[in-house]
Amino acid sequence: MIIDRSVIGSTSEVKVFEVEKGAIRAFAHAIGDDNPLYTDEAFAKEHGYASLVAPPTFPTTFRVPIPNVKFELSRVLHGEQEYSYERPIVAGDILRCVNRVVDVYERQGKLGTMTFLVTEIRGEDLDGKLVFCGKSTAILR
């Protein structure tokens, strides 16, 4: 196995991210989504938000290291990604994020053994309230 299962349960250090309007607009542009909630602050405020709303996959921009795991990036495939939210992320949010290894397992494929690494990132506001949770599966070959 490429990654030892003993890393399951390992947790990263907390990383703090301040969500900026420019980052939200740039991300929305990069994914080709012109929803005015993501680009027009006046529109977002008219719809009850404090500022611009981040697109649902915006937390992919938060770089929180995977704890106790090392691998060669050229050998990694993105397998799956999902997010759940307690509330939308908006510009001005300051989020404390932690990454945790949830599972490591192997499967046989056409090209041989593949290792699956499942991680979970959690983002809380400064009051300690959960804002989002993301689960990701990386495939190492």
Cα dihedral across residues 108, 104, 85, 29: positive or negative = negative
Domain residue extents for the chain: 5-20+55-140
Question: What is the C-alpha to C-alpha distance for residues 17 and 62, in angstroms, rounded to an integer?
Answer: 7
Cα dihedral across residues 86, 89, 95, 100: positive or negative = positive
CATH of domain 5-20+55-140: 3.10.129.10
pTM: 0.90
pLDDT score at 111: 82
pLDDT score at 1: 64
Mean pLDDT within 29-55: 98
Q: What is the mean pLDDT of the chain?
A: 95
Mean pLDDT within 12-24: 98
pLDDT score at 71: 84
Tokens of 9: 């349960």
Nearest residue to 58 via CA among 131, 138, 127, 119: 131
Q: Which has the minimum average pLDDT: 40-54, 88-102, 105-119? A: 105-119
Question: What is the C-alpha to C-alpha distance for residues 138 and 141, in angstroms, rounded to an integer?
Answer: 10
pLDDT score at 60: 95
SS3 110: coil
φ/ψ of residue 109, rounded to 5: -125, 180
